[in-house]
Amino acid sequence: MVDAHNQKVVLRGVNVGGWLLQESYILRTDTLNSQGRIQAAMLRTMPEKAVEDFYRRFRNSFVTKADIDFLADQGFNCIRVPFHYDLFLTPKQRAFRRQALLKPALHAAYADSIAAWNDRGQLFTGRNLEGFRHLDDVLRWSGSRNLYVVLDLHAAPGGQGVDRNINDNMVPLDLWKRRDSKGRLVYQDATVQLWKQLAGRYRQDARIAFYDLVNEPHGLSAKNGLSDDNQELRSLYIRLLEAVRSQNDQHLLMLEGNGYGNEYTNLTPDKLPEALRSNLIYNAHRYWCTNEAAAGDPNPNQINLFRNLAAFRDHWQVPVWVGETGENANEWFAAAVTELNKLNIGWCHWNIKRVEATTGIFSVPAYGSILTPAGRTALLRNVRFKRSKINRDVVQALIRPVEGARAFNVQQQLPGLLVAAHYDLGRAGSAYQDTYSQRTEFVQKENWNLGSHYRNDGVDLSKVADPTAHNVAVDLLEPNEWLQYSVTVPQPGAFQVYARVANATTSAAVLQLLLDGQLLTEITVPPTGQADSWVTLTVPGSTLSAGEHQLRVVTAQPGARLSWLRFERAAAPASGMTRAMR
């Protein structure tokens, strides 16, 4: 990719998913499965006007200029904006769609209404529709910080697949199958019309890097009554390419393959009309797969693995971009972006925010239930930038993947308190070592952080029910796993060490403290009963020299939970046995 001055551009960005299209898992409403089902549940107890007002307020809060400024400050240079087509309906049209969500008997009538609005020039044509207002806002915010924007049709009319959570369909694959009373592919006609309107409005907008025409088509197969070689997808892409170019819009246009954006049989440039082959970009979405540079797929048109991705780019002489990558551990993120950066292939992290999650740029505090007034009020408050917790370890893995370990917040000083969960930022083998630190197979379901809390490394962290302990503990420490803390000792001297620990096993656990690779002291943690039975151990200390050091906590015998270590100056050289205080 090159910019208007013919300078190469590698886009490294963040998806702002969950904003202009809710996905249930982002909000922890998984049983509701999709935005449409959330709305249908709300409509059973709320009037239409109240639902519309809630969503207006939600969209005004979830992403704001403060969020975009933060991304720019971290060093990202683009954002991808997933949006729902229904934001380009009028409020009255959107209300009819919501009625169809409640009453499946209205699905055909809604499709016919889409066709009728399109025939009368009333579909997606208003200049002040909510979707346009939000896109205009994010373009203004991003442009002021020199961030490019990718427009992503994430929920296409009718739904581009079977996964309702992704595309908010009423009926799976309706984009490909639904015909109106005149036999026309009504939702494909609507998708063409939407991109015509978008291209007409933004054709000269240099803040937009490209258009992502349809997010993650999937389920197009003979099993589902469609072709096995992407014929339907090819036909729609030709129509969409023609529609955008008919508006004299020369933006890059991104194609996404079948199988969640990765498989391009019959979608390669040679399969498209010659007049439509210029200014194309091809997409890959990378989740739960290996980051081995040499790994490949025998199908050259399946491009989510690095070898295939680079080979596809080089063979067809087209730019490629990883439009989504994420939902994994920091170790996986760092390995992925390191290889992509080496290949000069851009990427976009999924996602900016999730409720009580470690994988996004922000973690949104819990809010209760979206189906209660109190829950909705809390959600509108908690999604705001100032209320969300910044996952700095995720930012570190994405922006500085090859940097060595560094202090979690500021350099810890001794004497002082070392919170166990505040081990250094950095890669496995540099800031910590854990037996299982990333998910590299789709079928590999186990979480890398078994506590699913606070940080996104392989280190297992969980909430602590102990009034004297920090609110997070390091758990499930196995032999030879370790944590590193970058510390500074301003003045040399003898130190006493205290450790807040628990041990639910029947055998003593042993932790070793190493300073710059040399054994400092050893902590024997006797069985304490239940997992939340905490004790404070007084540990033989040692003399520390002044300067900057790396302190490591190494598991010699498993079983300990560790909340914190406290270093205090000793009145005399510390000696004696480990003693416990409850």
Reported as a single tens digit per residue, the pLDDT across 341-386 is: 999 999 999 999 999 999 999 999 999 999 999 999 999 999 999 9
- The C-alpha angle 241, 233, 185, rounded to 5 degrees, equals 85
Nearest to 167 by CA among 187, 192, 139: 187
Percent of the chain whose predicted confidence (pLDDT) is above 70: 98
Residue 581: predicted pLDDT = 43
What does DSSP assign to residue 32?
A: G
Q: Are 271 and 257 spatial neighbours (Cβ–Cβ below 8 Å)?
A: no
Question: Average pLDDT in the 460-485 region?
Answer: 90
Residue 465: predicted pLDDT = 84
Confidence category of residue 575, pLDDT binned at 50, 70, 90: very low
**Residue 260 pLDDT exceeds 50:** yes
Question: Average pLDDT in the 515-529 region?
Answer: 95
Percent of the chain whose predicted confidence (pLDDT) is above 90: 89
Pairing mode, strands 12-15 and 78-84: parallel
Ordered alpha helix ranges (H), 203-329 = 231-245, 258-261, 306-316
pLDDT tens column, 473-494: 999 889 999 999 999 999 999 9
**Residue 582 pLDDT exceeds 60:** no
Confidence category of residue 388, pLDDT binned at 50, 70, 90: very high
Residue 572: predicted pLDDT = 56
Average model confidence (pLDDT) across the chain: 95
Nearest to 322 by CA among 297, 342, 345, 302: 345
**Residue 573 pLDDT exceeds 70:** no
**Residue 574 pLDDT exceeds 80:** no
Query: Greater confidence, 442 or 334?
Result: 334
**Residue 4 pLDDT exceeds 70:** yes
pLDDT tens column, 96-112: 999 999 999 999 999 99
553, burial (CB in 10 Å: exposed 0-12, middle 13-18, buried 19+): buried
* Per-residue three-class SS string for 38-72: HHHHHHCCCCHHHHHHHHHHHHHHHCCHHHHHHHH
300-304, 342-346, 434-438, 530-534: segment of lowest average pLDDT:
530-534
Confidence category of residue 401, pLDDT binned at 50, 70, 90: very high
**Which residue bears the tokens 């997070």?**
472
264-268, 440-444, 517-521, 532-536: segment of lowest average pLDDT:
440-444
> DSSP letters along 421-486, please?
GGPPBS-BTTTEE-S-----STT--S-SSTT--S--SSS-EEE---TTS-SEEE--PPTT-EEEEE
Residue 452: predicted pLDDT = 85
**Residue 7 pLDDT exceeds 80:** yes
Residue 578: predicted pLDDT = 46
The helices-and-strands tally (H runs, E runs) of the chain is: 16, 24
**Which residue bears the tokens 């307020």?**
57
Confidence category of residue 177, pLDDT binned at 50, 70, 90: very high
Question: Which phi-psi region, left, alpha or beta, contains residue 431 (left: φ > 0; alpha: ψ -120 to 50)?
Answer: alpha
Distance CA 78, CA 223 (A): 38
- The C-alpha angle 161, 162, 168, rounded to 5 degrees, equals 80
Q: Are 291 and 342 spatial neighbours (Cβ–Cβ below 8 Å)?
A: no
Residue 5: predicted pLDDT = 86
